[in-house]
Amino acid sequence: MFDSNENLLFSVHGGGDDGGGMAGMLSVFLSAIEDLLSLSPSEILEHLLPGISAMENIHPLFVHFPIALLTLFFLIDFTGSVAKKKEWRQVAGWFLYLGAIFAGLTVTAGLMAAASVMHGDDVHEIMETHKHFGVSVFALATLLSIWRMAAMARLQGALNVLYLSCAGLMCVLLVFGADLGGLMVYKHGVAVEAARAAIAQGLDVRPHEHDHDQEHDHSH
């Protein structure tokens, strides 16, 4: 017969040879905390968030937020406008306000990054265009936010068409800006430590390729 009291006692004390149960889990957790407390703050960050600790700047931390928030704003606002759903447009407004805030943080972090990351003449022009797209997105997001708060009840007819057109333009600029950001990272290796080290050493870095037609001997 199953005895719930005995089963609970068995689990708490970690019965079994594998040290399972709540006591075993607690022991592992406390051991991990003890290990972390023995490290310096920078070592703790590197241990918990190795990707963030390896970054030269915080621009990549913010960049995805305005992309997601402002895109959702436009899609929800456009759909709410066509379907005449006032509630949808109210929700879309909050995505816009948050997107404008994060766009400002992203642009600020990007300007700081541009002044610190190493880049050649081939990247400088791309970076300048990327910056202009980012500033334009932030300016449009701010304008649309102020416009919305000041005249939301009057966003109808031709005025609403103009408003949605500006929102659509903002999303187009957002896409082009994001594309140039990806180009700098994935093609030119801007702020990528491994790529910078390879360039500094004059190495010929190429993608690793396999010849699938060649037979491999896996007997050893």
* Rounded-to-integer distance, Cα 94 and Cα 113, Å: 28
User: Helix crossing, 64-82 with 157-186: angle to 10°?
Assistant: 150
Coil vs helix vs strand at 171: helix
Q: Which of 3-17, 101-115, 187-201 has the highest mean pLDDT?
A: 101-115
pLDDT band at 164, cuts 50/70/90?
very high
* Rounded-to-integer distance, Cα 82 and Cα 14, Å: 60
Nearest to 152 by CA among 91, 100, 95, 93: 93
* Cβ contact 36:44 at 8 Å: yes
* Rounded-to-integer distance, Cα 21 and Cα 11, Å: 4
30-49 residue pLDDT tens = 777 776 677 676 666 566 66
The DSSP element (H or E) to which 143 belongs, if any, is helix 121-151
* Cβ contact 134:126 at 8 Å: no
What's the whole-number mean pLDDT along residues 128-156? 94
Please give the single-letter amino acid code of residue 209: E
Length of the chain: 220
The per-residue pLDDT for 86 is: 92
Q: What is the DSSP letter of 38?
A: T
Q: Is the pLDDT of residue 50 over 80?
A: no
The per-residue pLDDT for 216 is: 46
For the chain, the straight-line distance linking the first and the last C-alpha, in angstroms and rounded, comes to 55
196-212 residue pLDDT tens = 555 555 544 444 444 54
